[in-house]
Structure formats: structure tokens, C-alpha cells
Amino acid sequence: MTNIQRIDSQIEPSQHDVGIVHIGLGAFHRAHQAVYVEQTLALHGGDWMIVSANIRSNHKLVEQMQAAGHGYHVVEYADMNNANLREIKAIKNTLFSGSDEGREALLSQMTSPATKIVTLTITEKGYYLAPSTGELLLDTPDIQHDMAFPSQPKTALGLILESLKQRRALGLAAFTVLSCDNMPHNGVRAKGAVVALAKAQDDEFAQWIEQNVAFPNSMVDRIVPAVSEQALAMIKADTGINEPTVVKCEQFSQWVIEDHFPSGRPQWESAGVQMVEDVSSYEMMKLRMLNGSHSLLAYLGSIAGFKTVADAMQDKDIRAFLERYMMQEVAPTLPSFSQAELATYCQQLLARFENDSLQHQLKQIAMDGSQKLPQRWLSSLVELQEKSLAAPAIELGMAGWMVSLCEAEQNQQSINDPLEAVLFEFVRRHRDDSMSLISALLQRNDIFPTALANNKALLVRLVSLVDGLLAGEKVQSLMRSTSQSNDK
Ligand code: NAI
Ligand code: CS2
């Protein structure tokens, strides 16, 4: 029997106006930002309710939230036997902007003088940036649409641009744009994307944005798996909650934000948010230690036959491999933290990964690999290469990702990646020739830094690893051999 701690909402939505618009009404937003806003409203009141929108997909969730009056529950599992059942009322309205009416309603809310902050969880691909360089991909159809029809935007970038344009015309101050996505310098990248889209249409307006709109960086952390039918059944059995809007997550939560909000913000500190000058070291540590480990599990754990993070963590070779990855391949790239701090963080992460109540699917983490791997593995690999330090775990992860591409293409399974078509074409063109396939992949400079593309020794090692995996060599055996490489 699971011990459930109920935490009922302490706010009355009718007493608070909207102050925040969120784009990307997904699981993470509901289990992370909205929880912090709920707690801050309960402590300090204020007009910081959220209007949350989906602009791409999942209008079903919008309908479900509307049917529920926008209240929902977050079930925070410490483990299989202990969880908090948290009631959230901080979302005042939900919108789907896939229709003209929905888009106009969203633009109207973003242009409202009441709106002081626009937050984003639109996934790494929602910024339309080349993963390795951060350059705006102007030739993508959605960006092309927003350039041709700027007043009827489809992308988050276009919506931000159009609402800022309308606010400027009305003499209203700009809102602050706060990205809550897993990207390095996510605020800088969001700003770069918006300014690049503006520049493509109106240089003077682009300069105005540069000078008048704040895009603080933030580091976000809470493991929030997609809610499956199995998760809904588990939640119903544990809590009696039978709602499609419920979200399941771990109890750990962290939010580190650069404190740059010219139009004001909620007193998030009182809910435990860390308001800082510079998040760089926090985000680098989290993206490389946590997310880098997650992606190693996603590809290598799947090849080893595991389905969830917790299942893979039961394998002692895999657990030891992750520990080595974090302490021998990531730690040297994080000079802001002591070895002792990183060792503590590493053990905390391994414990979080072992939380078997989350049922966190490896295939979910494997999604959008082309958008994730540059900041999770490749930037570390370049730094280690510059220090002449070996990175056998990262290289094995890269080989695992490449083998996953080959197997998905062979089995005609989607990899749920914006570059799927391009990557599958490479696999088809270089089938059965791993040297030419890997060489072609490494030349993709929108994914791989040039420092890696020109490294012939790396190419040879990757060919050997890919051929070994394709020949059926056990992942755990290759993992064990990385320990010898690390110890050299
Ligand atoms: P989700 O699948 O529940 O929601 C994804 C959201 O992104 C949806 O609202 C979808 O409409 C939107 N979206 C997808 N492609 C888009 C595009 N091209 N333009 C605009 N919106 C787009 O996923 P979840 O769990 O909410 O995660 C979303 C993001 O939050 C992640 O990609 C990551 O950056 C961040 N995050 C997630 C964590 C987690 O454990 N789930 C933890 C830390 C950060
Ligand atoms: C995961 C992240 O799906 C993924 O890529 O690595 O969503 C991870 O759960 C979060 O970053 C944890 O904070």
C-alpha cells in the first residue's frame, strides 16, 4: 500500500490575475514551473496565474484541462511506497493555437499589459536551431511560414515576435522570455533564435529586441516521464485519482534562474527557486552529468534489452559505467565544482535513476537525439580531446546512437527526431560500410563539431565499436572495457 501525502491547493484562482503565458503545455511544465508558481501564489498572492498553450500538438490535453477547469494533480513518487499527491490550480486557462481563433486568443494574451513573463517548454527542436552551432534554421517550412505570414505565426519564435511587435506599437513594455528547456544557455539561444527571425524581416526591430527584451537563462531539473496508460492505472490504484490530466514525477525538483526580469516576477525564492547571476555552471553540470547519463542509458541500455531507466540501473556493469562516465569524463569538464561535490551529485543522480516507481521509458529519452547529444556528450568530448583525455564512455554512447539509427531504419521504426529523414538516408546510402556511414555522420556540422569531424583516430575507434555492437558483442562487455581505457 503506497503511503500518500495529500497537499491540497491553498489558492483561489479567481483572486489572482494572469501574469505568465506558457508555451508548451506538456508534462514537465505541469510538474515543474506550475508547481513553483502554485507555491509562490499560496505564500505571497499576486497576479501570477498562468495561461498555458500548446501550439503544435496535443490539443486533446488542452480540451482535458478545460474540461477539468484547469485544475489537476501532480503525483510525486519518492519510491514505490511513498508519494505526495499535490493539487495544482495555478493554470487559469489553456489554449490550443492550431486554429486561427486559438492563435488570436494566445496572441491577445501575450500582448496583454498583464502578461509580464512568457515561459517555454517546447523541446530542443522548438527553437529551430542547428544543435551544434545554435544558428536559426531559416529554411525549415515552419520558419519559412512565419517569415511569409508574420501576423499568423505557427512557431513559438513567431508568436513571441508578433506579440512583441504589437506591444511595442501599443507602447507596452516587453515581457521577459524564460526558456525552461534542456539547452545550454537556453535564454541566450532563445534570444538568438527570436532576433535571427526578426533580422530576416526587419533589422531595426531586431535591434529593438536586442536592447529591450530580457531572455534570462535557467537550469531546470525534475524527472517527469510521459504519462502512460500504465502510469494512469498506477496513480488510480495508489491515489484514487482518475484524471487524464494527472502528471507523475520524482520528488526531487530544482530551478536555477538568472534574476533578470525588468517587468517583475513572482517571489519564486520562497518556493525554493535559486535566483542567481549566472546559471552556466549549474546547467553544464546537469546537462552533462544527468542528461548525458540518461542518453547513454537510452541507447546502450536499450541495445542491452532494457526498457526503463530503473531496470537498466539494476545491471551492475551499467551502473558502474555511468559512475565512470560522470566521474572520469564529465567531472574534468566542470572546474567550478570540487571532486567531492561532483561525487555527491553523481551518487544522488544514480539514486534518482534507480527510482523504479517512475517507469521512465528509455525510448522517450532516446527521442530527438540529434538535438540533445551536442550539449550532453559532444561538447564534453571536444573539451576532453583538447585536454588529451580519453572519453571511451562517450564514444561507446555515440556508437550506440549510430547502431540505434541503423536498427531503426532497418526495422522501419521512427526515431522521433527532426533529422530522421536525413539520418535514415545516410544509413541507406552507406549500409554495410560503417567507416563511410560514421564518416558521413561526423561531417554533419549541424550535429558534430568540426573538431570531431576531423579526428581520424576517433573515426577508427567508433567503427570498431559500431561493428562490435552490430556483430552482437554484449554492451556490458564493451562497458567493462571502457574502464580499462579510462584507467590508462
Ligand atoms: P511533452 O511531450 O509532455 O511536451 C512537449 C511540449 O513541447 C508539448 O507542449 C508540445 O506541443 C511542445 N512542442 C513540441 N515540439 C514543438 C515545436 N516545434 N514548437 C513548439 N512546441 C513544441 O514533454 P515534456 O516532458 O513536457 O518536456 C518538454 C521539454 O521540457 C523537454 O524537451 C525539455 O526541454 C524540458 N524538460 C523536460 C523534463 C522531463 O523530465 N520531462 C525535465 C527537464 C526539462
Ligand atoms: C531526459 C530529460 O527525456 C530526456 O531527454 O533526459 O527529460 C530528463 O528527464 C530531465 O532533464 C531531468 O531533469
Give the separation between CA 164 and CA 213, rounded to whole angstroms. Answer: 9
Shortest-distance atom of ligand 1 to CA 24:
9
Residue pLDDT, tens place only, 276-318 = 999 999 999 999 999 999 999 999 999 999 999 999 999 999 9
Q: What is the pLDDT of residue 488?
A: 47
Question: Domain tally for the chain?
Answer: 2
Ligand 1 mutation pick, 123, 136, 254, max ligand atoms within 8 A of CB: 123
Residue 412 burial (C-beta neighbours within 10 Å; 0-12, 13-18, 19+): exposed
- What grid cell was written down for 121? 517548454
Q: Are residues 23 and 95 in the same domain?
A: yes
Domain with 272 in it: what CATH number? Answer: 3.40.50.720
| This model's pTM is above 0.75 | yes
| C-alpha closest to that of 285 among 413, 376, 167 | 376
Ligand 2 mutation pick, 181, 222, 223, max ligand atoms within 8 A of CB: 223
Q: What is the pLDDT of residue 155?
A: 98
Residue 366 CA to ligand 2 centre (angstroms): 10
Mean pLDDT computed over 438-447 = 95
Q: Are residues 88 and 230 in the same domain?
A: yes
Q: Are residues 32 and 79 in the same domain?
A: yes
Domain with 425 in it: what CATH number? Answer: 1.10.1040.10
Please give the angle made by the CA atoms of 129, 33 and 299, to the nearest 5 degrees. 50
Q: Are residues 150 and 270 in the same domain?
A: yes
Give the separation between CA 72 and CA 248, rounded to whole angstroms. Answer: 11
* Domain ranges, residue 432: 281-487
Domain boundary, last residue among 278, 296, 315? 278
Mean pLDDT estimate for the chain: 96
Residue 39 CA to ligand 2 centre (angstroms): 23
Residues 6+ apart with CB under 8 A from 192: 129, 134, 136
Q: Among all ligands shown, which has an atom nearest to the Cα of 221?
A: 2
Q: Are residues 91 and 200 in the same domain?
A: yes
Domain boundary, last residue among 221, 246, 278? 278
Q: Among all ligands shown, which has an atom nearest to the Cα of 146?
A: 1
Residue 121 CA to ligand 1 centre (angstroms): 5
Q: Are residues 43 and 190 in the same domain?
A: yes
Mean pLDDT computed over 417-425 = 97
Shortest-distance atom of ligand 1 to CA 142:
18
Q: Among all ligands shown, which has an atom nearest to the Cα of 227?
A: 1
Burial 390-411 (b: 16+ CB within 10 A, else e): bbbbbbbbbbbbbbbbbbbbee
Residue pLDDT, tens place only, 1-48 = 789 999 999 999 999 999 999 999 999 999 999 999 999 999 999 999
Residue pLDDT, tens place only, 237-253 = 999 999 999 999 999 99
> Using an 8 Å Cβ cutoff, are 445 and 454 in contact?
no
Q: What is the pLDDT of residue 484?
A: 63
Q: What is the pLDDT of residue 487?
A: 53
287 pocket-lining for ligand 1 (C-beta < 6 Å): no
Reported confidence tier of residue 485, pLDDT bands at 50, 70, 90: low
Domain boundary, last residue among 278, 296, 330? 278
Residues of the chain with pLDDT > 90, as a percent, come to: 95
What is the residue with the minimal CA distance to atom 8 of ligand 2? 223
Residues of the chain with pLDDT > 70, as a percent, come to: 99
Q: Are residues 274 and 285 in the same domain?
A: no
Q: Are residues 333 and 457 in the same domain?
A: yes
Q: Are residues 268 and 192 in the same domain?
A: yes
Give the separation between CA 447 and CA 458, rounded to whole angstroms. Answer: 16
Which segments of 68-174 does DSSP mark as H helices, in order?
Answer: 100-111, 141-148, 156-169
Q: Are residues 10 and 124 in the same domain?
A: yes
294 pocket-lining for ligand 2 (C-beta < 6 Å): yes
- Does pLDDT of 58 surpass 70? no
